[in-house]
Structure 1
Amino acid sequence: MAESLLQPVGEKTLEEVGDEYFDELFVRSFFQPHSTNDKTFVMHDLVHDLAMIYAGEFCFRAEEHENAVEIDIKARHLSHNATGNYPISKLLGVCDRVEHTRTFLEINLSPNIPFDMENTPCILLSKLKRLRALSFKCFPLESLPDSIGELIHLRYLDLSGTYIVTLPESLGNLYNLQTLKLIGCEKLKMLPDGMQNLVNLRHLDIRATCLREMPKGMSKLKSLQFLSDFVVGKHEENKIKELGALANLRKSISIDKLENVVDSSEAWEARMFDKDGIDSLKLIWSSNKSRDGVFAFGVKKKDAADSQIERDILDKLQPHSNLKEVEISGYRGTTFPDWLGNSSYHNITTLTLQHCKKCSVLPSFGQLPSLKHLTISDFKSLKTVGAEFYKGGSCLETPFPVLETYILLN
């Protein structure tokens, strides 16, 4: 997609076209499954050698210093293998010759591999202005140069596994950016306000970060196809209702810090019931916080009111019936809304409920026709599991018809 190799077909998204391309290449044995990792694909040695011959002078892989050919001025795609013995300094020294490069990927870099070229990002960004795809994955990088905003052709940026604390506001200048990966950036606390300018962004992956809240104006990113996490804020421009305008979200999403949702009308504005492309949903409340932000040791009447608010919020977060996986963590209501356990969710295969310490009654999960994996843990107020757990308003003759694993930890 970053190299504009995907050609739109009818109403299909670019992601769907890319999936079809990959499937076709797989059928033709260009790719094949990894022998031990079922989520990884590899190339056969012969196919790899053929691809290298075909790529010719347009691709340069900096791996072995000995007998390495000189980089060709026609090179458009560069990669540096951190496990090889090709000095990154040597590659940087010839960047002036390949200023038309479209791709730079650092591969196989990990924390146990020494890497002492701290000025590498600055040099690369100053010389390779026409980049479309850039990966600094696992770089020992604590900040990204402001000059990143000058790469106006950039479509793909991977900063996963870096030590970045903040991102420059100039990132908002990358109006062509389609993919931004920040997986495992554990020191990253905030995204820049300029994020709202990335109107062509389609894929934002912020898994395993520690964001305090989302930046303002996420509702402007209407091209988003994948958003791994949404951290609910307290301000008008980063509340949960910002999700309402993101109608094209697909695959999975985790909605965190739901304690910041004030009432059910805000939750309804997220319009989760409209998002038919979401098949995996996580709803997470931060533990041990009451609705007003203090620890929950209040009057019983107030507890009852809070519990009803929580139930109404979860009720209005009702997802589309296409859902396949659900996880709810930290929910503080005493009962669940009617949609959870309703047989209309005929696609749900995996269900996880944890840290719902006030819940005393379980929904009718026995009526979910496709449920295979059920986990319930840390329900401190649950004393008994009654008949309602198996049979609800549905007429399924046999509860849990296809259940394979059931874990109950209290």
Structure 2
Amino acid sequence: MQILKLSFDNLPSPYIKKCFAYCCIFPKDSKIERNMLIELWMGEGFLQTDVKSQTMMEEIGMNYLRILLQSSLFEEIIDESDYPSKTCYQMHDLVHDLSESMSKSTKVINDRDTCIVDNGDQIRYLAIDSFGGGEDRDKLLESLSTSLHTLFVNVDLSGDMLMKLKNLYVLNLSYTTTEELPVSIGKLIHLRYVNLKRSAIGILPDSLCKLYNLQTLTLSYSKVKDLPKGIRDLISLRHLHYDISDNDFQMPLEMGRLTCLQTLEFFNVGREKGRQIEELGSLKNLKGKLEIRNLELVKGKEGAEEAKLSEKANLFGLVLQWACEREGDDYNDEDVLDGLRPHPNLEELVIWNFMGDQFPHG
């Protein structure tokens, strides 16, 4: 422990120390997904950028992770339980104990704990598992309502209680059995991170679109079938983790207004203005993987060029999909594919249901 403490003391920045201490909110032996961890740190404001620097917060987070790995405080693993596999991090039990001892602002409540907190005015980060509930939980949340910045909870949370947490930055409701997200979430104007992964929530209220500071919205494997119409107003949104395999799904209008967006897992091309492929043209910061569907609705090479894929240097994976069943035989697939030329940095290209006779030259 003394050696580990020395590693912690030698971390080059107080922000990295905060990032490390924050990780005790996860249970021991947790596989902490890389992107989620960086997005949580970003939501808490730990990833400070220099005004003169062009470095993105996500890049700073990656640098912090490298430093924690080099200091032997983190271990990198590949989690293959999901598809695709993900890069994750684990902390040895002793390292977790160190993280816990370094954070006086974190409280984790489980079935062995009462909900009484003796240093309540210092608690900024709170995790409550399914055993922590009832009146005690509500009293605790009320007592922390002004100080709490992060809340991990997988039990029902009433709209009245949620509305009191006015200074919340991070709300993690993953795996919750709650079927409805309270409308009052729109009152939490400081929220930067909302995670509904694998939750039972099926409908997102329109009030969610009032969260103008929201940076990350995670809906992976949730019951959500539609995105709110006003999602174009989430002008700070950087990461939208959401995929639905329905080709008839209609994208919200004017997704192109989300100019900060880096993560967009799919885009279904629509017929009407505001849902056409040109919306992708404004999303200059897209990175990672993107799937574009319904390409039979794109009008020729010029229409396809409006997506400006050739300018998206940080896209490393691209899936291009046409409908498998189409009326008539007047296809323009070759022209459309020619207009969808990606940046040379692309590493992986998948094409579905292409009906052209040949691929573009050059």
Range into which the TM-score falls when normalised by the shorter chain: 0.7 to 0.9
Deviations 1:182-229 (A, max 9, x none): 1113x4332112111111111111124647121111111111122121
- The whole-number CA distance in structure 2 between the counterparts of 1:36 and 1:172 is 33
Q: Is contact 1:217-1:238 (8 Å) kept?
A: yes
CA distance in 2 between counterparts of 1:66 and 1:152 reads 31
Equivalent residue in structure 1 for 2:281, among 244, 252, 257? 244
Give 2:232's match in structure 1, choosing from 169, 172, 196: 196
Kindly state the Cα deviation for residue 160 of structure 1 after the two structures are TM-superposed: 1.7
Question: Is 1:3 matched up with 2:26?
Answer: no
Residue 101 of structure 1: aligned partner: 148
Gaps of 5+ in 1: 110-116, 340-410
Considering Cα pairs closer than 8 Å and 6+ residues apart, tell me whether 1 or 2 has the greater RCO: 2
Cα distance in 1 for partners of 2:164, 2:359 equals: 57
User: 1:276 Cα deviation (Å)?
Assistant: 0.7
Whole-Å Cα distance in 1 between the matches of residues 134 and 92 of structure 2? 28
1:64 corresponds to 2:107: no
**Partner in structure 2 of residue 310 of structure 1:** 333
How much has 1:29 moved relative to structure 2? Answer: 1.3
1:13 is aligned to: 56
Candidates 281, 296, 302, aligned match of 2:318: 281
| 2:97 aligned to which of 46, 49, 58 | 49
Deviations 1:83-120 (A, max 9, x none): xx4336532331110012110113xx6xxxxxxx54x2
1:342 alignment counterpart:
none
Which residue does 2:9 correspond to in 1? none
What SS does structure 2 have at the residue aligned with 1:204? strand
Deviates more, 1:200-209 or 1:35-44: 35-44
Tell me what 2:66 maps to.
23
For 2:160 and 2:75, the matched residues in 1 are separated by 37
Q: Relative to structure 1, is the Cα distance of residues 50 and 313 closer, same or farther in structure 2, using a 3 angstrom cutoff?
A: same
* Residue 86, structure 1, aligned to residue 132, structure 2: yes
Would you say how many aligned residue pairs link Structure 1 and Structure 2?
311
8 Å contact from structure 2 (residues 309, 342) kept in 1: yes
SS at match of 1:2: helix
CA contact (8 A) 2:76 2:88 kept: yes
Select between 160-169 and 29-38 the one with higher mean Cα deviation: 29-38
Structure with the largest fraction of helix: 2
Distance 2:322 2:135 in 1: 47
* Alignment match, 2:354: 331
- The one-letter code of the counterpart of 1:273 is S
Which aligned pairs between 1:200-279 and structure 2 lie closer than 5 A? 200-208=236-244, 210=246, 212-279=249-316
Q: Is the Cα–Cα contact under 8 Å of residues 156 and 180 in structure 1 kept in the other structure?
A: yes
Q: Percent identity?
A: 34
Secondary structure of the structure 1 residue equivalent to 2:126:
strand
Structure 1 distance, partners of 2:134, 2:91, is: 26
Counterpart of 1:180 in 2: which secondary structure? strand
Tell me the residue number matched to 1:156.
Answer: 193
RMSD: 2.2
> The residue matched to 1:213 in structure 2 has which SS?
coil
Amino acid at match of 2:68: L
- 2:138 is aligned with what amino acid? L
